[in-house]
A and B are shown apart, each in its own frame.
Chain A
């Protein structure tokens, strides 16, 4: 203990951190003042300018849920496009139970929904451009109205392919239903994001990543992934 008293008493040099600690109180006071100033200034918003942000990232209010997610896949664009086909979906789309082709670019999807329910979608491809894009929208009999697009673009500097999945849908049960599904990890946005990552894993590593391994939790098995 003697050592510390010596040090504090002996050396008169102010420690910058002691000063910083004292300054913390002042900072709080300053913050209050800044908020008050901002309130006074409201109202004079400048004119808005169109930017290059992807449309799905812009803040827009809508009853439809809109979601977009891009991943970099370190493989050539042709190879990535060729792998994005219905027969391979169950390999990386965890919630897809089955996809039955109905002919003419239409398919019936069976998907795991919240609370062990199954959801059926009937979607038709509206446009498909080799190595670039695939778009679809749902038919009338689909249980969830939805539309979407997958885009494939060259990443710069030989990094492979940017794959973008854009999805718009009417959330069953509205906002509340969406929140409920999110909590159950069955919300389409959560599913789509995870599926997209599994697709990337499959393309880059040849397998879908799994943390399946033992633990001392009785509820878990060493061959199934866990959160």
Chain B
């Protein structure tokens, strides 16, 4: 089959590789119909995620049709399913507590050692995301093996098109979980850093969960425009001092909850971020947590900080005293996707979420290398890319110009 592979920093290629096979009774094999590129893939692309190996098949946001099942799978051939990016057994202590992303069985014995060494405890597994999280092939491919297929995959009714439900795999539940983690009280002001796909779903979720207002921060006009369409007030951090603006918008107390939807590769020319950039270049520091630092300083006393943004290891100049003295509550983590699948599918059917206006491009799986380049270098125009294994090479469909042309 054809599959998108990571070959090194800024090197993605589409290769012919062997087809996946059923290995364990609970497995299923899918024929992938849609698969998206994520902000998390950008961290892999930039070489910031430890434990990638040349030749790894990437992709953790995908859906498709069941083509083969093991004896222990509850799926049936021909069913359409969306697959959570977190691989979870459903029966360990963590899965029983619905902390699915912390599953203690999905990361195999062979790969969990390194993960345990780095994190203190082995992380749960994910598709297409480095050997610290299991070393499973990802779904940016024609076919994919899905372990524990009786637990994760969400069966999709025929009347729902791929684009409506694909994001149940990651960014929709991630935005929802980010907002849930912010413990929003009715009327709260919630600030969201980053208007990428995760930020955009966080904005929608925060409003659905009762926020009075959401203030979204980024610097790309097209992304800020999408945030505004979804009901947020917006701040371009190149135009204002973000903390001053947030204070002035909240009578001086700051937002009740601050959500970091940026992660380890913060943009911007502030002294701390410039120093982080230099360190990342010179020695193996992976974190550039400028947005998170700013969120902690901006948050009101006794407020909540929610961190869906991904970080890889030790961070420098972390405002720990500020966190403590202000009495902030922090919640974070990879999303326990399976916990939310059912309720979010229902909410999509009820029309609660706009799942499609953030999608800027549909392209062929064969064009993945070029799409990664665009996703990395042209974040204003490329707000979310969906790869289709069926499409002819070069058959790129961009969102209608009128919808996101600079006004």
Is the C-beta of B24 less than 8 angstroms from some C-beta in chain A?
yes
**Complex contact B23–A227 (CB within 8 A):** no
**Complex contact B3–A216 (CB within 8 A):** yes
Q: Known: A214-B20, A225-B110. Contact between A11 and B272, CB under 8 A?
A: no
Is the C-beta of B53 less than 8 angstroms from some C-beta in chain A?
yes
**Complex contact A206–B55 (CB within 8 A):** no
Is the C-beta of A183 less than 8 angstroms from some C-beta in chain B?
no
Q: Known: A215-B57, A225-B110. Contact between A17 and B23, CB under 8 A?
A: no
**Complex contact A204–B110 (CB within 8 A):** no
Q: Known: A3-B238, A15-B270. Contact between A211 and B5, CB under 8 A?
A: no
Complex CA distance for A15 and B293, rounded to whole angstroms: 12
Scoring A3, A159, A215, A226 by chain B CB atoms within 10 A of each residue's CB, the highest score goes to: A215
**Complex contact B317–A197 (CB within 8 A):** no
**Complex contact B272–A216 (CB within 8 A):** no
Residue of A nearest to B148 (CB): A205
From A15, A205, A216, B271 is in contact (CB under 8 Å) with: A15
Q: Known: A216-B17, A217-B55. Contact between A17 and B131, CB under 8 A?
A: no
Is the C-beta of A55 less than 8 angstroms from some C-beta in chain B?
no
Is the C-beta of A21 less than 8 angstroms from some C-beta in chain B?
yes
Residue of A nearest to B105 (CB): A201
Q: Which residues of A contact B251 (CB under 8 A)?
A: none
Q: Known: A21-B271, A216-B15. Contact between A205 and B26, CB under 8 A?
A: yes
Is the C-beta of B18 less than 8 angstroms from some C-beta in chain A?
yes
**Complex contact A206–B72 (CB within 8 A):** yes
**Complex contact A221–B18 (CB within 8 A):** yes
Stretch at the interface among B60-68, B91-99, B204-212, B350-358: B91-99
Complex CA distance for A215 and B58, rounded to whole angstroms: 10
Q: Known: A159-B93, A214-B57, A216-B55. Contact between A17 and B270, CB under 8 A?
A: yes
Complex CA distance for A206 and B24, rounded to whole angstroms: 10
From A3, A193, A206, A227, B25 is in contact (CB under 8 Å) with: A206
Residue of B nearest to A191 (CB): B109
**Complex contact B108–A210 (CB within 8 A):** yes
Stretch at the interface among B134-142, B173-181, B223-231: B134-142
**Complex contact A18–B272 (CB within 8 A):** yes
Complex CA distance for A222 and B23, rounded to whole angstroms: 9
Residue of A nearest to B91 (CB): A204
Nearest CB in chain A: distance from B279 CB, A: 10
Q: Known: A3-B239, A159-B93. Contact between A211 and B317, CB under 8 A?
A: no
Interface flags for A181-215 (1: CB within 8 Å of B; 0: not) read 00000000010011101101100111111111111
Complex CA distance for A21 and B270, rounded to whole angstroms: 11
Is the C-beta of B89 less than 8 angstroms from some C-beta in chain A?
yes
Nearest CB in chain A: distance from B130 CB, A: 11
**Complex contact B137–A214 (CB within 8 A):** yes
Q: Which residues of B contact A211 (CB under 8 A)?
A: 108, 110-111, 125, 134-136
Which B103-123 residues have a C-beta within 8 angstroms of A? 104-113
Residue of B nearest to A18 (CB): B271
Is the C-beta of A16 less than 8 angstroms from some C-beta in chain B?
yes
Is the C-beta of B241 less than 8 angstroms from some C-beta in chain A?
yes
Complex CA distance for A222 and B21, rounded to whole angstroms: 7
Q: Which residues of A contact B108 (CB under 8 A)?
A: 209-211, 225
Is the C-beta of A223 less than 8 angstroms from some C-beta in chain B?
yes
Q: Known: A204-B92, A211-B134, A214-B57. Contact between A198 and B21, CB under 8 A?
A: no
**Complex contact A209–B57 (CB within 8 A):** no
**Complex contact A223–B93 (CB within 8 A):** no
Residue of B nearest to A4 (CB): B269
From B19, B105, B147, B148, A200 is in contact (CB under 8 Å) with: B105
**Complex contact B319–A16 (CB within 8 A):** yes
**Complex contact A214–B17 (CB within 8 A):** yes
From A24, A206, A209, B109 is in contact (CB under 8 Å) with: A209
Is the C-beta of B300 less than 8 angstroms from some C-beta in chain A?
no
Is the C-beta of A102 less than 8 angstroms from some C-beta in chain B?
no
Nearest CB in chain A: distance from B74 CB, A: 13
Nearest CB in chain A: distance from B100 CB, A: 13
Complex CA distance for A210 and B55, rounded to whole angstroms: 18
Residue of A nearest to B93 (CB): A74
Is the C-beta of A72 less than 8 angstroms from some C-beta in chain B?
yes
Complex CA distance for A214 and B140, rounded to whole angstroms: 12
Complex CA distance for A159 and B91, rounded to whole angstroms: 11
**Complex contact A17–B293 (CB within 8 A):** yes
Residue of A nearest to B1 (CB): A214
Q: Which residues of A contact B317 (CB under 8 A)?
A: 17, 20-21, 24
Complex CA distance for A210 and B26, rounded to whole angstroms: 11
Is the C-beta of B170 less than 8 angstroms from some C-beta in chain A?
no
**Complex contact A227–B131 (CB within 8 A):** yes
Complex CA distance for A18 and B131, rounded to whole angstroms: 37
Complex CA distance for A225 and B111, rounded to whole angstroms: 10
Complex CA distance for A146 and B80, rounded to whole angstroms: 53
Q: Which residues of B contact A227 (CB under 8 A)?
A: 110-111, 131, 135
**Complex contact B111–A214 (CB within 8 A):** no
From A20, A21, A190, A214, B3 is in contact (CB under 8 Å) with: A214
Nearest CB in chain A: distance from B309 CB, A: 18
Residue of A nearest to B134 (CB): A211
Complex CA distance for A207 and B141, rounded to whole angstroms: 26
Q: Which residues of B contact A (CB under 8 A)?
A: 1, 3, 5, 7, 15, 17-21, 23-26, 53-57, 72, 89-93, 96, 104-113, 125, 131, 134-137, 141, 144-145, 147-148, 238-239, 241, 269-272, 275, 293, 297, 317, 319, 322
Q: Which residues of A contact B (CB under 8 A)?
A: 3-4, 7, 11, 13, 15-18, 20-21, 24, 72, 74, 94, 159-160, 190, 193-195, 197-198, 200-201, 204-217, 221-223, 225-227
